[in-house]
Amino acid sequence: MIGTPDLEAIETLWKQGLEEAYTAYRPATTGLDGEDRHRVALAAALIEVALELQRLGRPAAAAPDLLRGDLCLARASRLLADTRDQRLQVSFARAIEERSAAAAAERPLGPARDRLLLAIADGR
């Protein structure tokens, strides 16, 4: 189901949480057209996995995990750019801004999935 270019260099993450997250976000994307449903669900899953890899709000990740997390965030950004949907792009960016600012301030972070589901809803 997931095309190779979307997982290039992060293939191993698919079975390490990405597939589960992707499946969990799919229902929230109902109503978007086929390709955009895939893009938005995968973007949300990539962001969730990235923040987990980078241990945002916890002791720092090791360098390779930080860089894989960066690639996940960048790929999510590119998938959202491919939707050409400005509201979704802004909504997801705000979610990451909020969580990273909270992490920097050492404030407790709620579940990432709840916040990203809200981003999908806000962006539509």
User: Please, are residues 115 and 98 in contact by the beta-carbon 8 Å criterion?
Assistant: yes
Q: Is 45 helix (H, G, I), strand (E, B) or coil?
A: helix
Burial readout 25-34 (b: 16 or more C-beta within 10 A, e: otherwise) = bbebbeebee
Distance CA 10, CA 8 (A): 6
Q: Which of residues 74-113 bind other proteins (CB under 8 A)?
A: 74-75, 77-78, 80-82, 84, 86, 89-90, 93-94, 96-97, 99-101, 103-105
**Does 58 sit near other proteins (CB under 8 A)?**
yes
**Does 12 sit near other proteins (CB under 8 A)?**
no
What angle, rounded to 10 degrees, do the helices at 112-122 and 86-104 form? Answer: 150
Nearest approach in angstroms of CB 31 to other proteins is 20
Q: Which is nearer to other proteins, 41 or 96 (CB)?
A: 96
Q: Which is nearer to other proteins, 23 or 74 (CB)?
A: 74
**Does 9 sit near other proteins (CB under 8 A)?**
yes
